[in-house]
Each structure stands twice: as structure tokens, then as C-alpha cells.
Amino acid sequence: MSALLEVDRLTKRFGGLCAISGCGFSVREGDAHGIIGPNGAGKTTLFNLVTGIYRPTEGTIRFRGKHIAGMRPGKIALMGIGRTFQNIRLCTNLTVLDNVRIAFDSRLCYSLPEAVFRLPRLEREERRSIVGSMGLLEPFGLAEHANELAGDLPYGSQRRLEIARALALKPSLLLLDEPAAGLNTGETAALTEFLRWVRNHFQVTIVLIEHHMHLVMNLCDRITVLDFGQTIAEGTPAEVRANPRVIDAYLGGTGEE
Amino acid sequence: MKEFLHAAARCRWALPALVVLGFAFCLACEFFPIFNDYSKVVLITIGINIILCASLNLVNGYMGEFSVGHAGFMSLGAYASAVMAVNWLPSTPMELPLAVVFGGTVAAVIGLPLALISFNTRGDYLAIITLAFLMIVKSAFENIAYVGGPRGMTPPVLTNMPWTFFWVVLTLWVIRNLVYSRFGRAIIAIREDEIAANAMGVRTREAKILAFVVSSFFGGVAGALYAQLNFFIDPRSFDIVKSTEILVMVYLGGIASLFGSVLGAVIFTVLMQVLQPIGTWRMVILPLILVLLMLFRPRGIMGLRELTWFLPRRELKKEPGQ
């Protein structure tokens, strides 16, 4: 298996604060890759760097071997990196269906004149997008809510809608920022199964930030541990669990000095 | 009755039939004394206001920015068309449409830099820039002797009901088709959440250019129709008060709604005519409407909703069990 995403000596400074300092890891194609670490370790900043919301101060990010650091976020998304947000960012005034359609639009091909004059290709493509988007809502249990406003959905459904929307891009890499935040134990177990299904069904590599250790240890093939913006451990769940530096970072000063 | 209207909205031929009927009626008004000249001017003003309102709604409602510079685009369209009609064109039946298209095009070209600014500037800051733009345009016309400076111009009276109706329908049709396409959804996504839009692969820069250029084009079209209606334009006809009027119409009718724009323009124009006798006090009523609106119904009458008639057929929600 080759590396889909390679992050090397990545650094991001906000003024005097160093959110990420020399972080490096690689994600293999087809894996579910967990990123864990204490609060403030720089996990979300890392996602924002990969998706182009922030520009790195130093270092490289390669996706399928191409340098993407500093590219515009829209372009990175179109290359096949979908993501969700820690604090859900849906188009709350639009319907559930339209939320997915916005992401699906990147796959439609018709030109501006065709849209303005409503030529046949527009209708054909728009039908394709409605059918395709409904097809995505189906497995997420959202099809019957397609015409409701996204903002009116309960919290858990909003989280699922965000994943469905990211998948509408047909990404090869899916970044999930705390997908289990706010879910109870039962729901988290269901989410684990669901994410496994998503990975197999959509043939997508998943990178997820998560605090629910149960989910991370069950789902992920490999785990990267961040602390103070640096990679302090990387490996299989078993390796990471046994690593003294990880225990040190999480529990604080219990490792051998 | 309600069911009948609902069924009619779903019929493929209902809307085109209405449009043809409306156009025929406007044509009839030209040849038969159905309305007196005063009523005709009011009706044409309603049409011009619908164009202004719908075009500003694209930026302020659908894209969620706050532009106060729409009167600037209107004046660009008005002056460009007036210069063309007065100096360059012979008096033929095609004089008006050519002047209007030219006015719209000039406004659209000037609208482009505003779009470029909006890449990195948003919200209040962009609003201030549009205000500065409006002041620049106004003082530019005040200082160009070729267009009469502060004294203004006297373009020929060419605007009539059929042409106004044509441009109203064209504006609404183009903006509707845009809004319910991937290009329009990109514009709406910017309003909802620009960061999320980017993450969904929306080309936000292209969407902003499109929104500003289309909006300023139709702003210019409205200005051109206005110039050819009143026999007289001067820079002061297109100041911040004019922009405020358009804003009141947009927020009265409802943001991100084309039917709202029609409603806002009709209500506002009629209200201004009815309140004619109280003179300057109208200018007290106008801001008061705005204050009350923001307090009690910040999204306007139709805010974020659309009449079934204004939706493309494919967007009609399926009834349960259908």
C-alpha cells in the first residue's frame, strides 16, 4: 500500500504561538488513520492545513505525491479531499438535499450559458445530481428528511449529513474532525460500524480526529499521536497504547523520568 | 382556489402563457388609452424597481453580502445609455434596447473590480467599500463636463411599457435560472458558510465574480431604463438615498426570494406614490420602515422562501405518495 497523504516537517505559527511544529506522518491508501492527542495538541490545525484553510509556515504536504500546501481550499477539495468540521458547518437555511447537492455540483458538467438558457444538458445533469444526492442520503437514514431544513435536524443527523456531504465530492481521502463528539456509548459503537461500512463501500481512506478511544482503537489501522504540535508516536493501536510517551502525554508525568 | 393555483404552478405552460398575456397587455397599453401617462410612469417605475431589487438581491440576499453601491451601477447604466442615445445612435426603434444593453455592459465591467475586492474583504468592510464606490461614481459624473457635470443630461424619452416588461421578465428569468443551477448554489453556499463552501469544492472566487457582474449588469439595465424615462438625469438622482430605497425594497420583500423582490418593489413604489401628498415626510417614513423591518422581520416578507411559480419545475417538492 502506498502513501496517500504525506506530511513532512510541517510547521504553523500564529504570531508567537507554534500550533504545529515539525509534525510529520503519512497515511496509507485504504487505511483508517486516527489522530489523537490532548486538547490543544494541534489536531484541528493540522486538518485546516491539509485542506488549505491555513497556509503552512514551513514544511510540505503531499497528496498522491503532489504538493498541496498553500493551494486554495476549493481546489484541494476538488482533488479529492473531503472533510467534516468539529463544530458542524452545514448550510442551515438550505434543505438537507441541497446541502449534498452543493458538494455534488463539482461533478456536474454544464456551462454558464447552458444554465442561463436552461439547455437540455442542464436538466439532465441536475436530475443526475438530485438522484445521486438522494442515493447518498439513503444509507445515512436522511432520505425521508431530504426536504427539511438542515438546521432543523437533530444533532446526530447533522453530523451524518456532514459526512454524506463530504462523500458527495467523491473523495479518496475523508477527514473527520471528532465525528463522535456528543454521541453516547451506544451511538459511538454504531458509528464505528458505520464508518467501517463507509470506508469499504466508498473505497475511501479515512483520517479521523477523535477523543473516544474505544472508537479509535476499534476502527483505526494506524494511529498518530500529537502533543504540542509534534508527532510523539505512530503505529498500530496496540503499539500506541503501549508507548510510554503517549501514556505520559495523556496522564501527565507518570512515565519514567 | 389555492389548489387550483398550486396545480397551475405545476403546469408546464402556465407561466409562459402568463408572460405572453402580460406582454400583450403592455403592448395594448401603447396603442389604446388604457392608462393615462401618469399611471404608465408609475407602472414602468415598478418595473424598474423590480429589476433593481432582484439584481441587488443576488448579492445581498443570495450571496449574503451587504452592498450599498447599487445606485452607483444604476447611474453608470443611466449615463452610459444616455450618452449612447444622445450622441451615437440615430433614432430608430432599436435605439432603446441597444442603449440599455450598453448601459448594462458598462455597469457590469465596472462591477468586476468590486468582485475582486470581495475575495478578501467581507461583511461590514465590503459594505464600506461599496459606499466609497458609490461616492466615487457620483463625484466622477459631477466632474465630467461631457455628461453635463452637476447639471446632468437630458436623454430622449424612449422607455415604454413593453420594453420594461421585457427587461423585467428577462432579469427574473436569468436570475432564477442562475440561482437554481450549480452556479447559484455556489453563491448561496458562500452566504451560508464560506469555509464549508470551500471544503465542498465550491469555486468561491468564480461565484463572487458572477454574482457581482450579473447584479451590476441588471443594475445598469434598470438605470438605463430610468434615464430614458424621466427626460432628465443628474448625479444626485443616484446617491445614497437611492441605494437606501433599493435596500428597503429588498429587505421588505425578502432576501433570497425573487417573488419577494417583486413584492417589495410593488409595495414600496405604490406606497411612495400614495404618500406623495406628505412631501418630505416620506423620507422619515422610509428609514422608519427599515428600522421596523429589522426589528420584527429581518428577512423580509418572503425571506428565504419562494413562490412555487418562481421555481423551475425540477425543484418542485414531490407531494407525499407521488
Residues B108-140: pLDDT tens digits? 999 999 999 999 888 899 999 999 999 999 999
Asked whether the beta carbons of A186 and A221 are under 8 A apart, the reply is: no
Q: In the structure grid, which three cell numbers stand for residue A82, read together?
A: 473531503
What tens digit of pLDDT does each residue of B249-293 get?
Answer: 999 999 999 999 999 999 999 998 998 888 888 888 877 887 888
Q: Are B185 and A78 in contact (CB < 8 Å)?
A: no
Among the partner residues A73, A91, A110, nearest to B198 by beta-carbon distance: A73
CA–centroid distance for B255 within its chain? 13
Q: Is B309 in contact with B15 (CB distance < 8 Å)?
A: yes
Provide the angle, in degrees to the nearest 10, between the axes of the packed helices B240-253 and B282-296. Answer: 40
Q: Which residue of chain A comes nearest to B256, CA vs CA? A: A93
Q: Look at residue B40 and tell me whether its pLDDT is greater than 90.
A: yes
Does pLDDT of B11 surpass 80?
no
Query: φ, ψ for residue A80 (rounded to 5)?
Result: 115, 30
CATH superfamily of domain region A1-80+171-257: P-loop containing nucleotide triphosphate hydrolases (3.40.50.300)
Does residue B105 have a pLDDT over 90?
yes
- pLDDT value of residue B318: 53
Q: Given this model, what pLDDT does residue A34 score?
A: 96
Nine cell digits for residue A205: 481512506
* Number of inter-chain CB pairs under 8 A, A vs B: 93
Report the relative pairing of strands A205-209 and A32-36 from DSSP bridges. parallel
Which pairs count as long-range contacts for B261-266, CB under 8 Å and 24+ apart, including other chains? B261/B50, B261/B53, B261/B54, B261/B57, B261/B172, B262/B50, B262/B53, B262/B54, B262/B172, B263/B301, B263/B302, B264/B53, B264/B300, B264/B301, B265/B46, B265/B49, B265/B50, B265/B52, B265/B53, B266/B46, B266/B50
Residue B183 DSSP symbol: H
| Minimal-distance CA residue of chain B relative to A167 | B200
Q: In the predicted model, is pLDDT for residue A218 greater than 70?
A: yes
Q: Is the pLDDT of residue B322 over 50?
A: no
Q: Do B189 and A93 touch (CB under 8 A)?
A: no
**Using CB atoms, which residue from A105, A115, A165 is nearest to B178?**
A115
Per-residue confidence (pLDDT) for residue A1, from 0 to 100: 54
The answer to whether the Cβ–Cβ distance between B314 and A127 falls below 8 Å is yes
Q: Give me the mean pLDDT over the A204-209 stretch.
A: 96
Q: Which pLDDT score is estimated for B184?
A: 96
Cβ B193–A91 below 8 Å, yes or no? Answer: yes
Mean pLDDT score across all residues of chain A: 92
Angle at B110 between CA B104 and CA B116, to 5 degrees: 130
- Report the alpha-carbon distance of residue A237 to residue A243 in Å, rounded: 10
Position A14 scores a pLDDT of 93
3-state SS assignment for residue A25: strand
B241, pLDDT greater than 80: yes
Extract the C-alpha cell encoding B116: 475582486
Using CA coordinates, name the residue in chain A closest to B172: A116
Measured between alpha carbons, how far is A96 from A99 in angstroms, rounded to an integer? 5
The ipTM estimated for the assembled molecules is 0.91
* CA proximity to A206, closest of A90, A9, A34: A34
CA dihedral B253, B125, B123, B187 (to 10 degrees): 80
Percentage with pLDDT > 70 across chain B: 98
Q: Which residues of B touch A166 (CB under 8 A)?
A: 199-200
The ranges assigned to domains in chain A are 1-80+171-257, 93-169
Q: How far is B301 from chain A (nearest CA, A)?
A: 16
Q: Which residues in chain B have their CB less than 8 angstroms from residue A53's CB?
A: 195, 198-199
Which one of B63, B182, B217 makes the best mutation probe of the A interface by having the most chain A beta carbons within 10 Å? B182
**pLDDT confidence of residue A253:** 55
Q: Which three cell numbers stand for residue A194?
A: 458505520
B90 CB-side CA count, 13 A: 1
d(CA B64, CA B122): 10
Tell me the pLDDT band of B9, cut-offs 50, 70 and 90: confident
CB A10, CB A46: distance < 8 Å:
yes
Best mutation target among A93, A170, A177 (most B Cβ atoms within 10 Å) is A93
pLDDT, position A255: 43
Nearest chain A residue to B191 by CA distance is A91
Tens digits of per-residue pLDDT, A51-70? 999 999 999 999 999 999 98
Handedness of CA A183, A185, A186, A189 (dihedral sign): positive
pLDDT value of residue B79: 97
Residues of chain A with C-beta less than 8 angstroms from the C-beta of B202: 74, 102, 105-106
3-state secondary structure of A176: strand
Write out pLDDT tens, residues A90-127. Answer: 999 999 999 999 999 999 999 999 999 989 999 999 99
Nearest Cα of chain A lies from the Cα of B70 at a distance, in angstroms, of 22
* A203-239 burial: b if 16+ Cβ within 10 Å, else e: ebbbbbbbebeebbbbbbbbbbbbbbbbbbbbeebee
CA dihedral A206, A210, A214, A216 (to 10 degrees): 30
Contact B200 A103 (CB under 8 A): yes
Q: Treating both helix axes as pointing N-terminal to C-terminal, what angle do B204-230 and B182-192 enclose, rounded to 10 degrees?
A: 100
Kindly report the average pLDDT of chain B as a whole number: 91
Residue B78: per-residue pLDDT: 97
- Nearest CB neighbour to A91, from listed B177, B192, B317: B192
Q: What is the DSSP letter of B58?
A: I
Contact between B201 and A72 using a beta-carbon 8 Å cutoff: no
- Across the strands, what pairs with A227? A230
CA distance B11 to A127: 19
Tell me the shortest Cα–Cα distance from B212 to chain A, in angstroms. 15
pLDDT band at B179 (very low <50, low <70, confident <90, very high): very high
B152 pLDDT higher than 80: yes
Please report the pLDDT score of residue B285 as a whole number: 81
Check pLDDT > 60 for residue B320.
no
Query: What type of residue is B15?
Result: L
Write the residue in A83, A127, A147 that is nearest to B317 by C-beta. Answer: A147
Q: How much is the pLDDT for B141?
A: 96
pLDDT at A257: 40
Confidence of residue A197 (pLDDT cuts 50, 70, 90): very high
Residues of chain B found within 8 Å of residue A51, distances taken between Cβ atoms? 198-199
pTM over 0.80: yes
Contact: A169, B193; criterion CB under 8 Å? no
CA distance B58 to chain A (A): 14
CB contact under 8 A, A103 and B183: no
